Amino acid sequence: MIKKISLIVLTLTLFTSCVSKKIFTDLEDKYGNLKKENRGLSDEVASLSNDKTKLNNDLNKLQTAYDVAIAKRDKLQSDYSAAKSNLETLKASYKALEENSSASIAANSKKNRELLAQLEAKEQALATENERLNTLKKELESRSKRVAELESVIAAKDANMRALKDAISKALTNFEGKGLTVEQRDGKVYISMENKLLFQSGSWSVGTEGRKAVQQLGSVLGENPEISILIEGHTDDDPYTSNGQLSGNWDLSTKRATAIVNILRENNSINPENLTAAGRGEYAPIASNDSVEGKAKNRRIEVILTPKLDEISKLLNEI
């Protein structure tokens, strides 16, 4: 990540010598927004992972405390039973010795009082431990319920993302083999469309076939309002040459991502607040730029679909 940020900063520094201040400022703002968004997503994923780990650790501690309390309760119960048995034995001895020696009777009386005191103390300790055990049990059951709810929500979101991926694949069946792929990984759905499906070389105007693919994608996204939609533009590493309308590959990738966003916005069922356009230039390749085939794969639009995590965050706050 540090290496990538350094490369971006170096690129921005180089750009400042050949582009206008306004364009540089725009790129700098976009870079800042992308950096902030990336940091936010990374922090959110790390936070959720840490919360889950902490929750599991807390559950393990509670389970251990519960097991220790059970063992202590059982020992107290055993001690109580032994003390009670000794008391009964001493009572029998006291009755047998009552007529023989007043001194023995006094000694046995004292012994009985001591045993009674011990027995009462054991009973009190046992009652206290049972109360603590019940409290631990209730807390353990509450935490277990929250964990089950959290796992259920996560499983439901994964299932929803699988269903969304299947729906998108079905909607875009006609474009298979035309530079379009759909896959699910890390809880997200990734739709990759090579530029040969969408744009002419050097252009950010979407062609008829590409517009149809984006519109069909939008018809599925419109039925899933709880999904965040990130559109990323990517290029190969060939330097961009133009008539001055664009400053380079980064500018071109951003305009292409924005063009896809504008088509999706034509669908009124898609909330514009869920849409984000980003240009990555040539800095996130998925293949080597040393071959024609690799360059073609790198020239692409990626639509990244992420489930909203509000419900999961709420459950974590309640635990």
How many angstroms separate the Cα of 197 from the Cα of each of 35, 173, 175, 213, 214? 29, 14, 9, 9, 10
Q: Tell me, what's the pLDDT at 217?
A: 94
Q: Running DSSP on this structure, what letter comes out for residue 1?
A: -
3-state secondary structure 264-296: HHCCCCCCHHHEEEEECCCCCCCCCCCCHHHHH
Q: Tell me, what's the pLDDT at 258?
A: 97
Q: Tell me, what's the pLDDT at 243?
A: 66
Secondary structure element (H or E) that encloses residue 91, with its range: helix 21-97
Sign of CA dihedral 254, 183, 294, 290: positive
Give the C-alpha separation, 263 to 261, whole Å. 5
Residue type, 103: A
Domain-wise residue ranges, the chain: 2-52+161-318, 57-159
| Topology (CATH level 3) of domain 57-159 | Helix Hairpins (1.10.287)
- Provide the CA 19 distance to its chain's centre, in angstroms: 40
Give the C-alpha separation, 130 to 214, whole Å. 64
What is the architecture of the domain spanning 2-52+161-318? 2-Layer Sandwich (3.30)
Residue 110 phi/psi, 5-degree rounding, is -60, -40
Could you report the average pLDDT of every consecutive run of 10 residues in the chain (319 residues)? 53 54 79 79 73 80 86 86 84 73 74 85 86 80 74 78 88 82 90 91 90 94 92 92 80 95 95 95 94 93 85 54
Cβ pair 199, 313 in contact under 8 A:
no
Residues 6+ positions from 217 with CB-CB distance below 8 Å? 168, 171, 172, 191, 264, 303
Q: Tell me, what's the pLDDT at 194?
A: 92
